[in-house]
């Protein structure tokens, strides 16, 4: 705990809160209370450890890339055993009807919390909180009967829950997601899931949670996929073996010259009906959006053109001529009608 610089005293207050109004007295136990002043001996900046670069060779075919844990995946540790987070009398967890169970895939389980009295809760620490400047806290939850789900991002030091957006209604499995940042005054950050008791205290209420994540948004880790050339790693930065030359004449025409050996020729233009490459016809999409042509190792010496734009450009050039011709036709028509009117006998 850090005392604020402008504080002139420190007071410890012990509480015995009321459990239920007009019922028996509550019992709250305290022991081993001590306050010890610590003098700082060193102030320094602590940076997260460097993430070492690793290279993994992959064979041809389909592969699945996944990242879990640490500064790249979810930073949550395993949830701890069931706790009683509102014990206002001497009853045990079993007597208060508290329960916690896991179901489904144990790597991403569905957690069920229940309580007839007191309050069931599970806590998990976030050991690496602060290695990133921004995190995404997300989960899905639903109520099984009476009480709504409740959760907390607890800051030890300030001893409070971080402010989170409110969910208006829990209708079936309801997703929750928000961005949070580390608190400089917190010595530990924890996630708590709660199972609230029923208002009457006669039946056990239950809630369920799943897909609980705390992922760094600004992470020091990145994954780069590189296609290994036949000559090995040194050839990655080597010169191109297939000569490529191009010249952009205008927005709809690009002259292209490619030596033999290429498989695909692509332009950084959105693929659309009308793109045509000399000798190879219409285009097809590459990477989902680029205009491209399969050339099958043949040399390319031609131009990529967007034909609808050429037709539109010709029509634009002919428009002034058409306007002049239309105006001339109107003038000649009016002149001819006046001439015929003068020739008619009175």
- Res 112: pLDDT: 95
The band of 221, judged by pLDDT with boundaries at 50, 70 and 90, is low
Average pLDDT in the chain = 82
CB 131 within 8 A of CB 233: no
The rounded distance, in Å, linking the Cα atoms of 60 and 223 is 18
State in Å, rounded, how far the first CA of the chain is from the last one.
116
DSSP letter at 217 equals S
Phi and psi at residue 37, to the nearest 5°:
-80, 135
pLDDT in tens, 75-122: 888 899 999 998 888 889 999 999 999 998 887 899 999 999 999 999
Q: CB under 8 Å to 292, separation ≥6 — which residues?
A: 264, 265, 266, 267, 271, 283, 284, 285, 286
The mean pLDDT value for 212-227 works out to 72
Element (H, E) at 322: helix 307-343
- Res 202: pLDDT: 80
- Res 209: pLDDT: 96
The rounded distance, in Å, linking the Cα atoms of 126 and 73 is 12
Domains and CATH numbers, the chain: 83-216 (2.60.120.260), 242-331 (no CATH)
The band of 346, judged by pLDDT with boundaries at 50, 70 and 90, is low
The mean pLDDT value for 201-229 works out to 78
Label the pairing between strands 281-282 and 275-277: antiparallel
Please say if the pLDDT value at position 50 is more than 60. yes
The rounded distance, in Å, linking the Cα atoms of 324 and 331 is 11
């Amino acid at each position: 705990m850090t005392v604020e610089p402008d504080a002139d005293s420190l007071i410890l207050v012990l509480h015995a809160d009321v459990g239920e109004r007009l019922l028996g007295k509550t019992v709250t136990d305290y022991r081993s209370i001590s306050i010890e002043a610590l003098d700082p001996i060193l102030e320094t900046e602590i940076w997260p450890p460097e993430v070492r670069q690793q290279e993994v060779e992959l064979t041809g075919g389909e592969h699945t890339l996944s990242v879990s844990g640490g500064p790249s995946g979810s930073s949550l540790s395993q949830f701890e055993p069931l706790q009683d987070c509102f014990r206002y009398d001497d009853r045990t967890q079993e007597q208060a009807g508290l329960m916690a169970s896991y179901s489904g895939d144990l790597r991403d389980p569905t957690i069920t919390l229940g309580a007839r009295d007191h309050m069931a809760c599970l806590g998990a620490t976030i050991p690496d909180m602060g290695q990133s400047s921004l995190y995404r806290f997300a989960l899905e939850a639903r109520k099984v009967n009476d009480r709504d789900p409740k959760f907390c991002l607890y800051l030890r030091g300030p001893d409070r829950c971080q402010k989170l957006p409110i969910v208006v209604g829990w209708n079936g499995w309801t997703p929750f997601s928000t961005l949070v940042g580390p608190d400089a005054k917190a010595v530990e950050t924890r996630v708590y899931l709660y199972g609230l008791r029923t208002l009457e205290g006669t039946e056990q209420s239950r809630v369920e949670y799943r897909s609980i994540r705390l992922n760094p948004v600004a992470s020091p880790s990145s994954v780069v996929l590189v296609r290994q050339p036949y000559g090995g790693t040194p050839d990655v930065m080597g010169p191109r073996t297939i000569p490529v030359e191009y010249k952009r004449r205008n927005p709809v025409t690009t002259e292209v010259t490619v030596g033999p050996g290429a498989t695909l020729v692509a332009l950084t233009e959105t693929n659309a009906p009308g793109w045509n490459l000399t000798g190879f016809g219409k285009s097809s999409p590459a990477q989902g959006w680029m205009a491209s042509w399969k050339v099958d190792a043949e040399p390319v010496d031609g131009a990529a053109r967007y034909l609808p734009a050429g037709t539109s450009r010709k029509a634009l050039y002919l428009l002034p001529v058409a306007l002049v011709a239309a105006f001339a036709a109107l003038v000649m028509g009016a002149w001819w009608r006046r001439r015929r009117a003068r020739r008619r006998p009175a």
